[in-house]
Amino acid sequence: MREEGRISAFQAMVYQISVILATLILFHPGITAMQARQDAWIAALIALFSALLVVFMAAKLALRFPDESVIQYAPRVMGWFFGKLAGLSYIFLFFWLAYYVQRQFGELMTTAYFPLTPNIVFILIITLLAAYMVYAGLEVLCRVALLWGIFVPAFFLLFMFIAKDINIGHFLPVLENGIGPAVAGSLLPGATMAEAAVILILMPFISDKRRAVPASLAAVAAVFVVFSIILVGSVGSFGADQTGRLLFPGFTLYRRLNIPALPVLERLDALYMAIWVGGMLLKLATLFYAGMLGLGQWLGLKSHRPLIFPMGALLVALSVRSWDNVVQLVNFTTEVAPFVVLSVTAVITGITLIVAVLRGMRGGPEEGGGKRASAADKKA
């Protein structure tokens, strides 16, 4: 599988950020605020630590088998049948998240800007773009992600304008109803941040594997920061109650933003949307890519490229047919998505890691950069 080229650990981090970020800033702040109320920031912290744990586990597992993806070594670790099943569940997760992302993208675009345009137009456009990126391969994908990543600091810039509207009182009293609501609220963002477990697929292509573990954890920390900005910004300026009632708090937050001294700088939601649309495309492309790569390996194909467009068409159909309306989509996000994501990223990864450790299995050193890989193993 050398055809996919090589990426650095830093690029892998950008890849992981792209996988997580875009959806994390859409519905999630509203749902977290609804469940955790004024303790939403505590929920975000709990989510950070649980996601760090899951991703650390995934990165450790990936590092045990530095030259293969989880799809390839799972049958060796857990036996052919269960290994293939585990592999399939990873592939399923990536595709499932991919068409879920397509639908979310379509929903916000139609809600916010194009009420008359059919949903499928946006889904088709974003899927065609993503399919092209997947076709171009991993290195191209990472470079595009990096290009987009340059604009993410704009969030920080915008936050300076929100900061003046934040009322600390909206976060009090702390832990009014105990830690329970905060834990419940942490589930969804935690599950989403745990999607950085995509490192299991990426590991064979990373050139400096030693740095893959810290890079993965850094990716989780980075998305946590952006998530917290939106969450703290919207809870601080609307109050937990209102934030919980909003469909897209981040969007509303930036839409409300105004600077009395600079009346020109209004409607900054356009900037938010520009970052978000790019993020959504990258999220779809990265998930789609991980799924395609996994599928190719799972079926034992020489190349997954011929399957890209058929699979893309399938995803479009699934994204349109799976939910009737935006409310279903939100309820699905709250009640189903976190459990499915965690059961794959945490449970299956955990079982695989435990079995691998118990059986003392690890991947052989790489032919090319053998020294590096073995050094990484020693460290691990």
* Shortest distance, position 177 Cβ to another protein, whole Å: 9
Q: Which is nearer to another protein, 272 or 298 (CB)?
A: 272
Sketch the per residue contact string, 73 through 112, with another protein: x for CB under 8 A, - otherwise: --------------------------------------xx
* Shortest distance, position 58 Cβ to another protein, whole Å: 38
- Which residues touch 148 (CB under 8 Å, ≥6 apart)? 18, 275, 278, 279, 282
- If one asks whether residue 173 binds another protein (CB under 8 A), the answer comes out as yes
**183 phi/psi in degrees, rounded to 5:** -65, -45
Q: Which is nearer to another protein, 49 or 114 (CB)?
A: 114
Q: Residue 154 and residue 134: Cα distance in Å, rounded?
A: 27
Q: Which is nearer to another protein, 69 or 243 (CB)?
A: 243
* E strand segments, 252-378: none
223 in Cβ contact with 22 (< 8 Å): no
* Shortest distance, position 78 Cβ to another protein, whole Å: 48
Identify which range of 84-92, 171-179, 340-348, 360-368 contacts another protein by CB under 8 A: 171-179
| Residues in 220-259 that interact with another protein by CB under 8 A | 238-239, 241-242, 245, 252, 255-256, 258
According to DSSP, the residues that pair with 7 across neighbouring strands are 206
Contact with another protein (CB under 8 A): which of 3, 115, 261, 302?
115
Q: Which is nearer to another protein, 120 or 353 (CB)?
A: 120
Q: Which residue in 247, 249, 233 sits closest to 111, CA to CA?
A: 247
- If one asks whether residue 128 binds another protein (CB under 8 A), the answer comes out as no
According to DSSP, the residues that pair with 206 across neighbouring strands are 7
Q: Residue 373 and residue 363: Cα distance in Å, rounded?
A: 10
- Which residues touch 145 (CB under 8 Å, ≥6 apart)? 11, 14, 15, 17, 18, 282, 286
Q: Which is nearer to another protein, 325 or 358 (CB)?
A: 325
Q: Residue 295 and residue 63: Cα distance in Å, rounded?
A: 21
| Residues in 265-284 that interact with another protein by CB under 8 A | 266-267
First to last CA, the chain: 24
* Shortest distance, position 248 Cβ to another protein, whole Å: 9
- If one asks whether residue 114 binds another protein (CB under 8 A), the answer comes out as yes
- If one asks whether residue 113 binds another protein (CB under 8 A), the answer comes out as yes
358 in Cβ contact with 64 (< 8 Å): no
79 SS3 class: coil
How many residues touch another protein under the rule CB under 8 A: the total is 24
Residues that bind another protein (CB under 8 A): 111-118, 121, 169, 172-173, 176, 238-239, 241-242, 245, 252, 255-256, 258, 266-267
